[in-house]
Amino acid sequence: MATIKEIKEQLAAISDLLDPHWTEFEADARSGVQAAVRRRKKTIQADLDEEVRLENMLRYEKDLYLQGYQAIAGIDEVGRGPLAGPVVAACVILPRNCKIRHLNDSKKIPKKKHEEIYKQVVKAALAIGIGRTSSEIIDQVNIYEATKMAMLQAIDDLQGLVSRPDYLLIDAMKLGISIPQSSIIKGDAHSLSIAAASIVAKVTRDRMMIEYDEIYPGYGFAHNVGYGTKQHLEGLESLGVTPLHRRTFEPIKSMLKEKN
């Protein structure tokens, strides 16, 4: 009789839930074997589910390829809501049928996985561009217009094997340029290209906020990335407003009025 270790090795070679060998393993009454069978089946099912999810997230891209488009760019931004720091946008062009496991809306990816998936996107991408709009500009033109500016910068900044996309998939935004485009609500959860842009923008901005935390200590920027956490608000009360803060955002706007 095979040992449980040997059976685990045999199970690792099975990748099909319909494989006929399951029958003999399921007939083995040993609890260790049954636990190994359940784990392997669960892993295989998770792999199948992930493959289906990735296929669904490529449906916009596949439709555009059939229409003759080649360089399809996903565009997304990070940082519209924080009280401090820039809004950062990314433009990413992935190869045809590129599937990066667990790539999703950056808000749905565990933080500990951000860097790993970011590196996979950077390695796979045909081209990546980054755009950023400062707090000063955000205060001048409003966050919506500043977001569009960052997205346009990201397109112009494209570096890699492709210098210009011929179609744009954008997360819930329309851009006033001549490149054909689609605005997709919650696009980072429905398009793999937009999801790629989402994680690139997220990691890029997080790294910037870590650097800003060293320049402006006491606000917790390395952890809250500019959002209004308790530590951040306490820092505003005790240390005041920095050049990184958005002066048209509350409660900063009211704080500045009170001081004047």
Which residues are known binding-site members? 76-77, 171
190 closest CA partner among 120, 79, 89, 104: 104
CB atoms within 10 A of CB 41: 16
The answer to whether 197 and 90 are in contact (CB under 8 A) is yes
Calpha distance 20→23 (Å, rounded): 6
CB atoms within 10 A of CB 43: 13
Residue located via tokens 């054909």: 180
Calpha distance 67→80 (Å, rounded): 33
The binding site for a divalent metal cation comprises 76-77, 171
Tokens of 89: 């946008």
Q: Which residues contact 163 (CB under 8 A, 6 or more apart)?
A: 127
Dump strand ranges (E) for the chain. 72-78, 87-93, 127-133, 159-160, 167-171, 181-184
Give every strand in the sheet of 72-78, ordered side by side: 159-160, 127-133, 87-93, 72-78, 167-171, 181-184
What is the amino acid identity at position 158? L
CA angle 177/90/113 to nearest 5° reads 155
The answer to whether 175 and 147 are in contact (CB under 8 A) is no
